[in-house]
Amino acid sequence: MEELIAKLAEILEVEVVDVNKKFSDYEEWDSLSALSVLAMLDSDYHIQMKNTDIAGYDNIEAFCKDVLAR
């Protein structure tokens, strides 16, 4: 989980990610950072998601759990 969160922190350009927040709560969250997440999931976790999937999670923790469970 830590590794994935560190990657999200880099994309969101923050020191620490609050996993209780949603992606859309972050100022850096936009179509470009969403694409960065898609690309990271594809290359590092061999998972493909749609933008609407990512937007659908209640918070970042739920997203991370789902990614790691696949």
Confirm or reject binding of residue 9 to another protein (CB under 8 A). no
Of residues 12-41, those binding another protein (CB under 8 A): 30-32, 34-36, 38-39
**Which CB sits closer to another protein, 1 or 55?**
55
Least separation, in Å, of the C-beta of 46 and another protein? 10
Q: Rounded to an integer, what distance in angstroms lies between the CA atom of residue 21 and that of residue 48?
A: 22
Q: Rounded to an integer, what distance in angstroms lies between the CA atom of residue 37 and that of residue 17?
A: 14
Q: Rounded to an integer, what distance in angstroms lies between the CA atom of residue 20 and that of residue 38?
A: 20
Q: Which residues bind another protein (CB under 8 A)?
A: 30-32, 34-36, 38-39, 42-43, 48-51, 55
